Amino acid sequence: MGDILRLVGKRLGYGLITLLVVSILIFFAVELLPGDVAQAVLGQGATAETLAALRDRLGLDQPAIVRYFHWLIGAVQGDFGTSLVSGEKVSTAIAGRFVNTLFLASYAAAIAVPISILLGIVVALLRNTLFDRVANVLTLTSISSPEFFLGYILILYFAVKWQMFPAISSLSSDMSFVDLLHRSFLPALTLVLVVTAHMMRMTRAAIINLLASPYIEMARLKGAPPWKVIVKHALPNAWAPIINVVALNLAYLITGVVLVEVVFVYPGIGQLLVDSVQKRDFPIVQACCLIFAATFILLNLAADVGAILTNPRLRHPK
């Protein structure tokens, strides 16, 4: 147990260092953008006095390194500053949008994870058959297609031609859970088509790799049926790579929703990020980027911990 805690603590330390480096890159990348923030907020008609007052209020008259540490300390406490456009707290503007993004990612994951694992097992059992070849072609097509292209194809057929689902995912607080699932189905399906293909192929590869192991051959020689060989012998040892790829794809579901949310005008954090970039609302841009980075690092950490817990060789390294 102590070895596991040490490994998890080491991974967590690496994650915090990575997040610190990413925060530096995010802050100073915004700092290097051309133009004057105060001028962009007030417009070309602003006087020198109003520009100076706004720079003083935003702390723009301080050195960049000082402003970075003020921003970092506030971010650790959950305070990302104030929006330059609306004047409200950045944390307040992001909170509801982030909940919507988490819901969309959870919706897609609830569909994609069981389907991809089940299909991966089936195509591993039916390796080199017509079903396996068709599944490989379809998954390669899905992986190679950009998210926005898949989204527009789904809108064309499901929203325009068949009129089964709305093309715009407008949400409201008084909406029932069934209506919420209905309005969010097309963006969730877009994400499902992208991540299912990847997870299915990785599951198939992990199981096929294990099927060549000596203990699998012994189970077959003892007369075990193919499904029992997969479920009882191969799948338990394939959980480590499967958990790893599932966690990485869950990270993509949260951090890669920007294009999908823009296509369907879904009120999530990705749509907020795009709107804030257009309006040059830099505090919200920095906060969104940091949240995306933290989420991706956290889920990568979960993938590492899952691999450690399911693989004894990682728990007891030589």
User: Taking the model in full, what pTM does it have?
Assistant: 0.83
**Nearest-angstrom CA–CA distance, 245 and 195:** 10
Kindly state the tokens that stand for 184.
Answer: 């969010």
Q: Which residues of the chain have pLDDT under 70?
A: 1-3, 35-37, 39-43, 45, 310-318
Query: Containing H/E element for 179?
Result: helix 177-183
Going from the C-alpha of 53 to that of each of 25, 33, 100, 282, the distances in angstroms are 28, 21, 36, 18
Write out pLDDT tens, residues 70-87: 888 988 888 888 887 777
CA–CA dist 219, 237 (Å, integer): 14
In tens, the pLDDT along 102-149 reads 899 899 989 998 998 888 888 887 888 888 888 888 888 888 888 888
Which of 91, 52, 88 has the alpha carbon at shortest distance from 74?
91
The pLDDT of residue 157 is 92
**Token code pair at residue 245:** 């790829």
At residue 222, the pLDDT reads: 82
- pLDDT (0 to 100) of residue 60: 72
Would you state the pLDDT for residue 220?
80
End-to-end Cα spacing for the chain: 16
Where do the domains of the chain lie?
A: 95-280
What is the pLDDT, as a whole number, of residue 27? Answer: 87
CB atoms within 10 A of CB 181: 13
Q: Which residues pair with 89 in a beta bridge?
A: 82
pLDDT at 256: 74
Residue 35 is predicted with a pLDDT of: 67
SS (HEC) of 215-241: HHHHHHHCCCCHHHHHHHHHHHHHHHH
The dihedrals phi and psi of 89, each to the nearest 5 degrees, come to: -65, 140
d(CA 253, CA 187) in angstroms, rounded, equals 11
Instruction: Classify 95-280 by CATH class.
Output: mainly alpha
**Cα–Cα distance measured from residue 153 to residue 147, given in angstroms and rounded to the nearest whole number:** 10
Is residue 264 a contact partner of residue 182, using CB atoms and an 8 Å limit?
A: no
Beta strands in 149-213 (DSSP E): none
Residue 46, φ and ψ in degrees, nearest 5: -70, 145
